[in-house]
């Protein structure tokens, strides 16, 4: 009998234990062995984690009970991301997870809405009223999809907020029950056949040599395997995305009114997040070290939220991506592979998609060059599209109240983003570059509209409906959404009834 194929994961945290949990779920113990090495000395930063709807698919893959998961992680539900002060000080808009209105004649609803807005001016139905998730979120309510799929509530889209460390602990328990060996140790050396070559083993402080067939680097920004051992270069995108630092603190919390959305509030040197969990509200002050120093950032943050006592967690990163996240017999997942600042809550999504990609291109005996090539191609395509989407929030601003915002407004952007902006400006058209692209037409429209970009025209077919018919259709959507959401419980009440943490 041949020995099981041994996969060694370096690093715990969300990325490591998400990887271990998924692999332990799909791989049988007879043919595969999984070992995870983590060091408590290195640790992780405990912050609230905001996600997007893809995380539900990941949890469903693991067949995790949603209520049990939310109880264990002190989680709450999330229908959207709110953006405040981004185009101008005082502005507010949501990026909701579900669609606007109803597609007509094969033409996306936003074309019809933009025509309605153009014709009706101040009398137009607010955009917030023609999106189900936005309608529910602004009332601070929540429900899961109901059984009746004829109702709009049968298709409501949502994600979560949860404690990242508690999620890692939850998945660690899940993975270890399915045979994953967890070693608490520190790696002293990476044993390779030659410099930057395939990995043979990790030399640890207490457990000696841990050999393996394939290694997954979840060591965070340190990138001990893919960066240090493999020598894979990193593409630095800070010229387009200058925010590279954050300070995290607990904020004021209202357990009776837990918002079902993440708040992103722009300030003179960047933005701050508010992530509502069941037991606390996590807050972070994101900024660019080019335009302010760490001491001033922390002082400004404390004065803004009125917290002068709690210990602050300082975070640093480089927006960008690894050139080859899979090289030889090593693949990087999570921060070791690349990172985009948390504005659109894409951190765990990048981790999740890389895990699913690794399972699809499952490493094994023999040559793996083409699988690595495919993995690297799709990783680069995905994170580049996310980069453009996040970058666009900064570019489409009117703010000139600080050197930071003037830089963002005036910076040169990649052709890939400029072409999207120009296409929408011409006639409101939005297309995904590929099926691998995370953000869809709903997301791009939410951001374009919220940041004040208006097209010169809309799709010609959207002009064929009479003005009266169009107004009637949009008012009908508004009326239905108000009717179906009126009886819903508050977000806090829903949590209390279904998934309250003990």
Q: List, in order, residues 6 or more apart from 39 with CB less than 8 Å away.
A: 184, 185, 186, 187
Rounded Cα distance, 215 and 336, in Å:
13
- Which of 352-387 are b and which e, b meaning 16 or more Cβ less than 10 Å from the residue's Cβ? bbbbbbbbebebeeeebeebbeebbebbbebbbbbb
Catalytic-labelled residue, pool 71, 78, 166, 395:
78
User: Is 402 labeled as ligand-binding?
Assistant: no
User: Is 12 labeled as ligand-binding?
Assistant: yes
User: Is 219 labeled as ligand-binding?
Assistant: no
DSSP secondary structure, 250-319, as one string: EE---TTS--SEEEEEEETTEEEEEEE-SS-EEEEEEE-TTTS-HHHHHHHHHHHHT--SSPPEEEE---
Contact 500, 145 (CB under 8 A): no
Rounded Cα distance, 247 and 267, in Å:
14
Contact 482, 129 (CB under 8 A): yes
User: Is 187 labeled as ligand-binding?
Assistant: yes
Is residue 78 part of the annotated active site? The answer reads yes
Rounded Cα distance, 118 and 111, in Å:
11
Contact 212, 8 (CB under 8 A): yes
| Token pair in block for residue 306 | 């009125």
The backbone torsions φ and ψ at residue 171, rounded to the nearest 5 degrees and listed phi first, read -75, -30
User: Is 13 labeled as ligand-binding?
Assistant: yes
- Which of 280-304 are b and which e, b meaning 16 or more Cβ less than 10 Å from the residue's Cβ? bbbbbbbbbeebbeeeebbebbbee
How close are the terminal C-alpha atoms of the chain, in Å?
A: 47
Contact 298, 286 (CB under 8 A): no
Rounded Cα distance, 244 and 250, in Å:
20
Nearest to 31 by CA among 62, 71, 66, 3: 3
| Token pair in block for residue 208 | 């000696």
Contact 73, 173 (CB under 8 A): no
> How many residues are present in the chain?
502
SS3 346: coil
User: Is 15 labeled as ligand-binding?
Assistant: yes
Q: What is the CA radius of gyration of the chain?
A: 24
Rounded Cα distance, 278 and 258, in Å:
7
Q: List, in order, residues 6 or more apart from 202 with CB less than 8 Å away.
A: 8, 10, 37, 187, 189, 190, 191, 209, 210, 212, 215
Catalytically active residues are: 78
User: Residues at the annotated binding site for L-tryptophan?
Assistant: 344
User: Residues at the annotated binding site for 7-chloro-L-tryptophan?
Assistant: 78
């Amino acid at each position: 009998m041949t020995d099981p194929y041994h996969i060694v994961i370096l690093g715990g945290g969300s990325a490591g234990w998400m990887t271990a949990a998924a692999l332990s779920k799909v791989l049988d113990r007879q043919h595969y062995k999984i070992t995870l090495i983590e060091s408590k000395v290195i640790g992780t930063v405990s912050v609230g984690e905001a996600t997007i709807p893809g995380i539900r698919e990941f949890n469903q893959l693991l067949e995790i009970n949603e209520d049990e998961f939310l109880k264990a992680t002190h989680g709450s539900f999330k229908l959207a991301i709110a953006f405040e002060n981004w185009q101008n000080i005082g502005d507010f808009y949501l990026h909701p997870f579900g669609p606007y209105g109803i597609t007509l004649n094969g033409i996306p609803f936003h074309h019809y809405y933009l025509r309605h807005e153009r014709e009706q001016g101040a009398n137009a139905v607010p955009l917030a009223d023609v999106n189900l998730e936005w309608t529910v979120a602004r009332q601070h309510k929540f429900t899961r999809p109901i059984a009746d799929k004829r109702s709009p509530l049968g298709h409501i889209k949502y994600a979560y907020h949860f404690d990242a460390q508690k999620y890692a602990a939850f998945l660690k328990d899940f993975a270890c029950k399915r045979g994953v060996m967890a070693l608490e140790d520190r790696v002293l050396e990476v044993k390779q056949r030659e410099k930057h070559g395939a990995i043979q083993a990790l030399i640890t402080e207490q457990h000696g040599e841990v050999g393996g067939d394939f290694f997954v680097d979840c060591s965070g920004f340190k990138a001990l395997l893919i960066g240090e051992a493999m020598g894979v270069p990193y593409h630095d995108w800070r010229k387009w995305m200058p925010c590279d630092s954050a300070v995290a603190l607990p904020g004021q919390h209202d357990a009776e009114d837990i918002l079902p959305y993440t708040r992103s509030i722009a300030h003179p040197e960047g933005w701050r997040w508010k992530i509502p969990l069941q037991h606390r509200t996590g807050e972070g002050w994101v900024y660019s070290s080019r335009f302010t120093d760490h001491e001033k950032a922390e002082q400004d943050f404390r004065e803004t939220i009125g917290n002068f006592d709690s210990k602050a967690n300082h975070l640093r990163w480089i927006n960008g991506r690894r050139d080859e996240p899979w090289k030889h017999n090593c693949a990087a997942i999570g921060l070791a592979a690349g990172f985009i600042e948390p504005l659109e809550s894409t951190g765990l999504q990048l981790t999740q998609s890389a895990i699913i990609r690794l399972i699809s291109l499952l490493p094994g005996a023999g040559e793996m060059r083409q699988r690595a090539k495919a993995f690297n191609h799709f990783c680069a395509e995905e994170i580049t599209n996310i980069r453009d989407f996040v970058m666009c929030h900064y570019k489409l601003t009117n703010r000139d109240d600080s050197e930071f915002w003037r830089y963002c407004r005036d910076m040169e952007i990649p052709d890939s983003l400029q072409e999207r902006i120009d296409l929408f400006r011409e006639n409101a058209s939005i297309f995904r570059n590929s099926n691998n692209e995370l953000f869809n037409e709903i997301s791009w429209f939410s951001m374009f509209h919220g940041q004040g970009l208006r097209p010169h025209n809309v799709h010609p077919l959207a002009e064929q409906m009479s003005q009266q018919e169009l107004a009637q259709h949009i008012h009908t959507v508004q009326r239905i959404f108000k009717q179906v959401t009126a009886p819903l419980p508050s977000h806090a009440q829903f949590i209390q009834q279904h998934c309250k943490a003990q």
